């Protein structure tokens, strides 16, 4: 049962990361607020938070790159 719960959590994190990869800056701001709530209420673990944080940083780098190329 523990493995099933872990698999569900991993699937949730993967789904969030997939969403992050398509977000705009405004969407990221709202998402960060929600994720902070999830962290403080311990709905997600530190390991999961780290994975989501890495995805957010990667997305922000991609947006910066797009802005540099466009400007």
pLDDT digits (tens, 9 = 90+) for 13-24: 899 999 999 999
In the three-class reduction of DSSP (H, G, I as helix; E, B as strand; rest coil), residue 45 is classed as coil
pTM of the model: 0.79
Q: Are 13 and 52 in contact (CB under 8 A)?
A: yes
Radius of gyration of the chain (CA): 14
Q: What is the pLDDT along the chain (71 residues), one digit of tens a residue?
A: 445 555 666 888 899 999 999 999 999 999 999 999 998 999 888 889 999 999 999 999 999 999 999 97
Q: Are 17 and 55 in contact (CB under 8 A)?
A: yes
Q: Are 51 and 13 in contact (CB under 8 A)?
A: yes
Domain ranges for the chain: 2-70
Q: Which of 52, 64, 57 is nearest to 15 (CA)?
A: 52
């Amino acid at each position: 049962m523990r493995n099933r719960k872990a698999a569900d959590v991993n699937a949730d994190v993967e789904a969030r990361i997939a969403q992050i990869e398509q977000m705009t800056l405004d969407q990221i701001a709202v998402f960060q607020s929600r994720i902070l709530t999830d962290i403080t209420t311990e709905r997600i673990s530190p390991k999961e938070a780290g994975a989501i944080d890495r995805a957010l940083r990667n997305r922000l780098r991609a947006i910066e790159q797009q802005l540099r190329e466009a400007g």
